[in-house]
Amino acid sequence: MSFEIVFVILVVVGMLICLIKEVARPDFILFCSLATLILFGILTPAEALKGFSNEGMLTVALLFIVAGAVKQSGSLNHLVEKALSSGKSPRRSLLQMMVPISGMSAFLNNTPMVVMFTPVVRKWCRDRNISPSKFLLPLSYAAIFGGTWTLIGTSTNLVVHGFMLEKGMAGFSMFQLAIVSIPASIVAITFMVTIGYKLLPDRKTSEETFEESSREYLSEAIVEQQSPLIGKTIEEAGLRQLKGLYLIEVISNGDRTAPVPSYYKIKEGDRLIFTGLFSTIVELQNIRGLTVETGTHLKLGDLQNGSASLVEAVVSHQSSLIHKTVKESRVRSKYDAGVVAVHRNDERINNKVGDIKLKLGTPYFY
């Protein structure tokens, strides 16, 4: 085995490890891997850039632009919403969703189709108290099925078509694959609407799980009469430097302050709402002048009022928040928001909110 082969294997393995560990953005990892192969002479610059001139790759890029324009128009969103709403049962709605999405995916490329319709399907499911897990996977499958109908429906077809042309072969015609893919799609959609629907998990959304377990997330402290904290700011009272708790809201005579600025002056009877690592709540109990109530009756929905709302945000691959802690990202000062909790892999991260390092795809509530 030559040095070049060993080196390429090591680079590929290192690249995969970095992608799995999410040490950086995927495009940056791939670029560094390619640059390494160029610097060590494994690839020439011409060979490294050859893939960018592939006809299939260029077509995929153009289709993303087209899909973006269609998404902005919102016309297809109305079509899918109407198809979903006209179903007399969830299975009927599922069928009426999958068929048009498969047809549209044949001409718009399946990847942006899934991105475009995921928020629409989630909202529809939430409004009807249906688990999104019953619809989101079929949404992806419908886009994949439709993508195999035509040459431009999926990036795989386009890339293979480009390689075939480079080798002097005829390549695919526009509907050459449809003779196999359309019958296969009919069978697959039928399976998803019947047996597949039953097999799909009936999971609650992160918002529902979050709401139901609010007693585990929130704790309340009430400022007592003649408390030494009265008249002090949040900063002076030491409520910014608690080891495992994070102050997200103050309720004073019915008025709510969220997020809580460090200069807020504490008053008698104020209700201080905390979230975070409640194994450290003894630190809060040791502060004179506070009556601590663990497992407050306050629900997450109660945190919303005329000037504040509870929002779920997901860290995208382009976000500047990746690999920063909540404290380092300065969410409070930048966005005038307080982070209530962070979820990853359908589980809440049981740590002080300010010390949690955000990663790609991590949903957090504020």
Helices (H), the chain: 3-21, 26-39, 45-50, 55-73, 75-85, 90-108, 110-127, 136-147, 155-166, 178-191, 197-199, 206-212, 214-217, 282-285, 331-335
Q: What is the pLDDT of residue 179?
A: 92
pLDDT score of 14:
92
> pLDDT tens digit string along 231-273?
888 888 888 777 767 787 888 887 878 778 888 889 888 888 8
Say yes or no: domain 205-366 is CATH 3.90.1150.10: no
**Residues with Cβ within 8 Å of residue 80, at least 6 apart in sequence:** 97, 100, 101, 117, 120, 121
pLDDT of residue 258: 75
- Looking at residue 40, its pLDDT comes to 87
- pLDDT score at 188: 93
98 and 138 Cβ atoms separated by less than 8 Å: yes
- At 162-187, the pLDDT tens digits run 778 878 888 888 888 889 999 999 99
- Taking only the tens place, the pLDDT of each residue in 54-108 is 666 677 677 667 766 766 766 677 777 777 776 678 888 888 888 888 888 888 7
* Band of pLDDT at residue 16, cut at 50, 70 and 90: very high
Provide Rg for the chain, Cα atoms: 26
Given pLDDT bands bounded at 50, 70 and 90, which one contains residue 191?
very high
The pLDDT value given to residue 189: 92
Which has more pLDDT, 212 or 139? 139
User: Which percentage of the chain shows pLDDT scores above 70?
Assistant: 78
Instruction: In whole angstroms, give the CA distance from residue 66 to residue 57.
Output: 15
Question: Mean pLDDT: which of 110-114, 208-212, 250-254 is highest?
Answer: 250-254
| Parallel/antiparallel/unpaired status of strands 341-344 and 347-348 | antiparallel
pLDDT band for position 364 (cuts 50, 70, 90): low
Q: Which of 210-214, 251-255, 340-344 has the lowest mean pLDDT?
A: 210-214
The span from the CA of 244 to the CA of 8, in Å, is: 45
Q: What are the structural domain ranges in the chain?
A: 3-53, 57-203, 205-366
This prediction has a pTM of: 0.59
Angle at 221 between CA 300 and CA 354, to 5 degrees: 65
Per-chain mean pLDDT for the chain: 79
Averaged over 11-32, what is the pLDDT?
86
Contact 269, 252 (CB under 8 A): yes
- CA–CA distances in Å: residue 23 to residues 27, 183, 317: 12, 42, 12
